[in-house]
Structure 1
């Protein structure tokens, strides 16, 4: 693929207090990553230098002055767009700080604005810390809601988690467990299932097989252990199938991932965060990817966090970040080809 036809993917360093800078140094040392897209690394020079120091790697990048230069780059080198988002004096490695949260959000805002100007095709960001983002002024439950608000998205959106060819989506996400049942509605289940199917097709699945997880133990045991399956989840599944949106289940949550593990499902629509996350992380923590679904721009990140306990030790495993970047590149290429709404 020539430089002019590869998607332009913006890459951020994540939380400056975490393992993100180290991961990006390792990421840009991989030939498969560099070959997958025209990369625009966005971040503060001192944070980038620190990441290289920890990783003991010095991948070559070409400085650029503005986003427009990303479109005209004629070589295969990753580009570096320097920012000034966070002072080194305000950062304590391995510790949550509001300054790091503000800096991470500022870099992402630059990337979102670049997308609205059609300067880039996708975004991949190194791990963030939600507490730092909130302490730093983000007035949303998570970065997905920040992205949606900034981009003016009013339709249904949700996080996807992927592990190789297995995807999961959620009816509810970063909310207290006590609020989950208030968010389980037929409309949300149907919207999540439809978005899951659309996104998997853009990711290359011709006929995705999607399963629906139950909420209650044993799928509610005929109503003796909860009625959400009878009153909401099963009717939603019937309506989806009647509307030509194939959906399997609902299956009890303690067995549905056995079907997925055995290759019988491509995706699972779960009812709440940990219902899918526990399974995905047990199946392959080092390779999990989070996709911000339902947005006009493909956005991915590794499914793990900032790992404050190993910051500075050069122990961070880059595989999930690499998978996140390569998926962003594939989705960005699909967007670039004119597939409509990206992820």
Structure 2
């Protein structure tokens, strides 16, 4: 993995009072048995040393620059400092939490954009803590899109949840259900699906991605008797996608899309709203699902869970989702590096 990847991954500290530091330390301790790619933590070395001490973990910490992180990784957890000192205790965010989380995201994106890191992997943030500090973005995804802005326009980010058995994308994300229905449009579905198809080709090596679109209503509207969004909004989107050579099918009843035989017929399921897409994957892969942001000019993955303040600092946090996020980011980056190598085409 190290030879193929060449550059380390930039892992943000996330919300310092949450389990991000705990799972980072646990992942580093499993670096050999899980064949993890080299990564460095973007944050505060003194703080992560303190969390390791609280957890009773023997994790040497080295303050480094990104260029030396891969060489340090075998013997110590590399930390690239942001200059933000962290004073938050486990489970108790304080005034240092939001500046530390934001600075880590900014530094990680800068590092990957400027070629010092192969991809960004983000530990969970606490949006409520950021909002109290004046954070103006709905969440991680939208902030990353803003940091990727060029020529006055931010890219449209798309949230994909991935595990080995299923990939799902919700067309509308963190909005109330009544607002999701109001926002759903043919254009939004088409734009989302085109980004999904392009990134499945680019990052996952799927030559002709198959997208299965769910209906919005029970039984996909039952021929218009339980709602007309399938006929008026979703079917026109599917027709437009197929005219542009995107293999899109549906709209399918969502309650029959996720059993094993159905999953074999597509590469990604497109849900119309958040829970329609996320409930199936969290049922299949609660501990090791990965959040992937598509549509950005860089690779970004994240564990598919939150900050878990109630168990932070207890040693009970499961690093499986972070480990899966690190491994997937490395896999995606290695594919990109291989395609960009001379003579690869």
Q: TM-score, normalised by structure 1?
A: 0.89
Question: What is residue 221 of structure 1 aligned with on the other side?
Answer: 222
Structure-1 separation of matches of 2:34 and 2:312: 25
Three-state SS of the structure 1 residue aligned to 2:286 is helix
Residues 15, 104 of structure 1: 8 Å contact kept: yes
Question: What is residue 194 of structure 1 aligned with on the other side?
Answer: 194
Task: Report how far residue 187 of structure 1 moved.
Answer: 1.6
Three-state SS of the structure 1 residue aligned to 2:96 is helix
Give the direction of change, closer, same or farther, for the CA distance of 1:179–1:319 in structure 2 (3 Å limit).
Answer: same
Structure-2 separation of matches of 1:193 and 1:167: 13
Structure-2 separation of matches of 1:59 and 1:92: 19
Give the direction of change, closer, same or farther, for the CA distance of 1:27–1:241 in structure 2 (3 Å limit).
Answer: same
Residues 8, 40 of structure 2: 8 Å contact kept: yes
Structure-2 separation of matches of 1:61 and 1:296: 31
Question: What is residue 31 of structure 1 aligned with on the other side?
Answer: 31
Report 1:100-111 matches (<5 A). 100-111=97-108
Question: What is residue 134 of structure 1 aligned with on the other side?
Answer: 131
Question: What is residue 315 of structure 2 aligned with on the other side?
Answer: 314
Question: What is residue 45 of structure 2 aligned with on the other side?
Answer: 45
Three-state SS of the structure 2 residue aligned to 1:52 is helix
Residues 209, 267 of structure 2: 8 Å contact kept: yes
Question: What is residue 86 of structure 2 aligned with on the other side?
Answer: 87
Give the direction of change, closer, same or farther, for the CA distance of 1:51–1:328 in structure 2 (3 Å limit).
Answer: farther
Task: Report how far residue 231 of structure 1 moved.
Answer: 0.5
C-alpha RMSD of matched pairs (Å): 2.5
Residues 96, 131 of structure 1: 8 Å contact kept: no
Give the direction of change, closer, same or farther, for the CA distance of 1:226–1:112 in structure 2 (3 Å limit).
Answer: same
Q: TM-score, normalised by structure 2?
A: 0.88
Give the direction of change, closer, same or farther, for the CA distance of 1:55–1:266 in structure 2 (3 Å limit).
Answer: farther
Q: More displaced, 263-272 or 1-10?
A: 1-10
Query: Cα deviation per residue 1:254-283 (whole Å; 9 max; x = unaligned)?
Result: 221225765332211111111111111111
Question: What is residue 19 of structure 1 aligned with on the other side?
Answer: 19
Give the direction of change, closer, same or farther, for the CA distance of 1:87–1:161 in structure 2 (3 Å limit).
Answer: same
Question: What is residue 63 of structure 2 aligned with on the other side?
Answer: 63
Three-state SS of the structure 1 residue aligned to 2:257 is helix
Report 1:251-262 matches (<5 A). 251-258=252-259, 262=263
Residues 84, 100 of structure 2: 8 Å contact kept: yes
In structure 2, which of residues 138, 141, 144 is the aligned counterpart of residue 147 of structure 1?
Answer: 144
Alignment pair present for 1:230 and 2:231: yes
Task: Report how far residue 23 of structure 1 moved.
Answer: 0.2
Gaps of 5+ in 1: none
Report 1:162-201 matches (<5 A). 162-201=162-201
Q: More displaced, 102-111 or 149-158?
A: 149-158
Structure-1 separation of matches of 2:32 and 2:247: 35
